Structure 1
Amino acid sequence: MHICLILAPGFPVLTYVLLREVISIANAQAGQALFSVEIRTVTGAAANSIDGIEISPDRMDWSDPPGWDLVILCAGAKPLHRLPMGLRGFLARAEQAGATLAGFDGGVTILAALGYLDGYQAVHPNSTTEEEAEILARVASCGQIFSFDRGRLTAKSGLAAGDALLAWIARVLAPDVAKQISDRLSLGRFREDGDTRHLPRAEDPVLARMQSIMVTHLGDTLPLTQIAFDLDLSPKQLRLRCRKGLGQTPTQVYLKLRLDRAEQLVRDTVLSVEEVAQATGFTSPSAFTRSFKSHFGAPPRVIRKTAPDNRSRPN
């Protein structure tokens, strides 16, 4: 299946990294190239992320290799600046060929501005200008972190975009395939020494659901009162049940999930410490570094330097 990822200047790098990681894991799990990815940019030239990381396009025009299955617009602030004339026609041809049109963060605004969300429900970006808000007012807002409404897939940036892509994979392939990718992405990672780290297995289905909720909200952390409410428990009942079933408090389980994801991002991505902290729900880089060092015995920058694949990546 063929995916076209269109980047706008100022795109969120975490979203880009997670999308590529989900696709890479899917192909590795299958032992074959289930998905191919072609990168294009709104400008036709190399695009810089909001953090200054430059990504070059695979193609610099709007010609159409056949068979797009998913076209993703990934943008940050000011997504409507200098939209090219060829983009609308490209999206129209992709839609006519049966492709799902997706917008993540500012990409939602682009789809709305071009009329591709009229009559659809979508996730609105967190931050918009007055002009963008007027455009998005025509589109029904979804209160979830992502929305899959017929042939439209929309999400906020970061982890929500990864969840959205998994939902699409579950739809076009199988839910089991998406679950396998999610398990490897969220709860563990195969290491060269053969060790795969996971949370304690929850035999209690309520605790398994608790873990699932927490995994879905690693960056936008939920208060435990909200998680307990979603599980139809009081906070005290949840604490007692968690201690009995997992030998840990819900707070400890949640923190371990966030730190394990943070360690994965430190080792396997180009994200800065500040970006990893934000992606895993820490209020500041210093608070993140303290928790990380306490849990792993070394600060993030030291762990990154010891990871062979990341030695040339920025801290």
Structure 2
Amino acid sequence: MHVCLILFPGFPMLALSLVREVLRLANAQAEQRLFTLTVRTVNGAAVTDRDGTQVAGALPDWHGAQGFDLVLLCAGEAPLTALPMGLRAFLLRADAAGATLGGLDTGGTILARLGFLDGREAVLPDSAPAELPENVKRIALSRAPFALDRQRLTTAGGLAVADALTAWIARAQGPALAADTAEALAHGRMRDAGRCQRMAITADPLLERMQSIMAARIEAPIAVEKVATELGLSPKQLRLRCRKGLNRTPAQIYLDLRLARAEQLVSETTLPVSEIARAAGFASPSAFTRSYHARFGAPPRRPRHSGVARTESEQAATRH
């Protein structure tokens, strides 16, 4: 799959580094070159990042849009300054060919200005409503770190770029590769051989996609009705599909994924329960503790990183 990253003057270097690293790790985890990256500058000349580091230019011939699966705009503090005439046409061709269009940090402001976020959920900088009052009226603004809504990917700044790109990988290549990539990025190493995923196994590609959507929104869960909408189904149709394919409701499957994430954090980190509850998308530590205890038979306060092997009962709880 081919990714195109277009750099604008004043872009954040961290975003460029994260895009490169996430794709590199995804290829390493897959043990094949699934993803390629083309980096362009918006004006064809060298551009300077926010801290003054210069990146060599690449001619923006605005051809080849149909060859990309993901096109990302990475901009600086004045993203709407001197937008090139060929950019919108390039994005229109990429969109028509099925590419996901993305805005990293203020890159989302450019997509909004060009009308590509109309009717979509999107994450935009705080300055966007003042800069684009009419455009923003047609956008469902989100306060989440990123939003991935119907071939549109927008992110806040900083590390949210890695989370957003991993969510796109989950949708494009499956949740297992996305989880492997995220763990490699977090720990600076590859996933241990033989470590299994906790996704429910199904032969139904639609249910695979459903789990990818859910896995991408663990920290900030979305309503099951919205998951159904993204899949082109009614909530009732999705429930029937889940009952037939996995013998569980969509809400139960979503909870399984969130608790699996929580159990991983309990086992592998020293985070306090309140932080784990938040990372797993629970409204409060008490609600998280009740759900965790009901699933694993013990509260989420087991010794972590103590160097002592877990007890047999804990290992059994992990397997269920």
Please name the residue that 1:209 is paired with: 262
Displacement of 1:76: 2.3
With normalisation by structure 2, the TM-score equals 0.63
Unaligned stretches of 5+ in structure 1?
A: 197-204, 249-315
Please name the residue that 1:171 is paired with: 171
Displacement of 1:110: 0.2
Residue 26 in 1 paired to residue 84 in 2?
A: no
CA distance in 2, matches of 1:111, 1:162: 19
Please name the residue that 1:233 is paired with: 285
Check conservation: 1:27, 1:34, Cα contact below 8 A. Answer: yes
CA distance in 1, matches of 2:117, 2:71: 14
Distance 1:246 1:107, change over 3 A: same
Please name the residue that 1:83 is paired with: 83
Check conservation: 1:70, 1:102, Cα contact below 8 A. Answer: yes
Question: Deviation digits for residues 134-183 of structure 1, max 9, x if unmatched?
Answer: 54343110232111111111111221111111111111111101010001
Question: Deviation digits for residues 24-78 of structure 1, max 9, x if unmatched?
Answer: 1112222322111111122221111111122224433212264211100111211
Match 1:246 to one of 293, 304, 307: 304
**Aligned to 2:11, what secondary structure does the other structure show?**
coil
Say which is worse superposed, 109-118 or 55-64, in terms of deviation.
55-64
CA distance in 2, matches of 1:127, 1:187: 34
**Match for 1:59: what amino acid?**
L
Distance 1:169 1:208, change over 3 A: closer
**Aligned to 1:230, what secondary structure does the other structure show?**
coil
CA distance in 2, matches of 1:48, 1:117: 27
CA distance in 1, matches of 2:134, 2:113: 10
CA distance in 2, matches of 1:171, 1:129: 29
**Match for 2:101: what amino acid?**
L
Distance 1:206 1:169, change over 3 A: closer
**Aligned to 2:50, what secondary structure does the other structure show?**
coil
Please name the residue that 2:67 is paired with: 67
Report sequence identity in percent. 46
CA distance in 2, matches of 1:126, 1:138: 16
Matches within 5 A, 1:151-162: 151-162=151-162
**Match for 1:244: what amino acid?**
R
**Aligned to 1:246, what secondary structure does the other structure show?**
coil
Say which is worse superposed, 28-37 or 147-156, in terms of deviation.
28-37
CA distance in 1, matches of 2:187, 2:125: 27
Check conservation: 2:14, 2:158, Cα contact below 8 A. Answer: yes
Please name the residue that 1:40 is paired with: 40
Please name the residue that 2:230 is paired with: none
Question: Deviation digits for residues 246-297 of structure 1, max 9, x if unmatched?
Answer: 268xxxxxxxxxxxxxxxxxxxxxxxxxxxxxxxxxxxxxxxxxxxxxxxxx
Check conservation: 1:70, 1:100, Cα contact below 8 A. Answer: yes
**Match for 2:262: what amino acid?**
R
CA distance in 2, matches of 1:67, 1:241: 50
Residue 51 in 1 paired to residue 48 in 2?
A: no
CA distance in 2, matches of 1:206, 1:225: 10
Check conservation: 2:44, 2:58, Cα contact below 8 A. Answer: no
Question: Deviation digits for residues 214-252 of structure 1, max 9, x if unmatched?
Answer: x9xx9xxx97497399264249x79x955534268xxxx
Say which is worse superposed, 86-95 or 120-129, in terms of deviation.
120-129
Question: Deviation digits for residues 113-153 of structure 1, max 9, x if unmatched?
Answer: 01111111111214448324554343110232111111111
Please name the residue that 1:92 is paired with: 92
CA distance in 1, matches of 2:283, 2:151: 31
Check conservation: 1:39, 1:59, Cα contact below 8 A. Answer: no
**Match for 1:15: what amino acid?**
A
Residue 13 in 1 paired to residue 13 in 2?
A: yes
Check conservation: 2:122, 2:154, Cα contact below 8 A. Answer: yes
Question: Deviation digits for residues 179-231 of structure 1, max 9, x if unmatched?
Answer: 100010013426xxxx99xxxxxxxx859417669x9xx9xxx9749739926
Check conservation: 1:123, 1:146, Cα contact below 8 A. Answer: yes
CA distance in 2, matches of 1:9, 1:212: 39
